[in-house]
Amino acid sequence: MAEKRSLSGLTEEEAVEVHDQFKTTFSAFLIVAAVAHVLVWVWKPWF
């Protein structure tokens, strides 16, 4: 029996894996960006 695939060509399980990895990397990016903004603000508060 063929697996059901979505428009992206991924199965439900593959799509969940991709989404979980995306959430992890996006959260890490947000944390790095927030730290960078705080460091610039500490360095030059008027910047």
37 is in an annotated binding site: yes
Rounded distance between C-alpha atoms, residue 22 and residue 20, angstroms: 5
Rounded distance between C-alpha atoms, residue 11 and residue 7, angstroms: 10
**Spatial contact of 11 and 5, defined as CB atoms under 8 Å apart:** yes
19 is in an annotated binding site: yes
Binding residues for a bacteriochlorophyll: 19, 37
Residues contributing to the annotated binding site: 19, 37
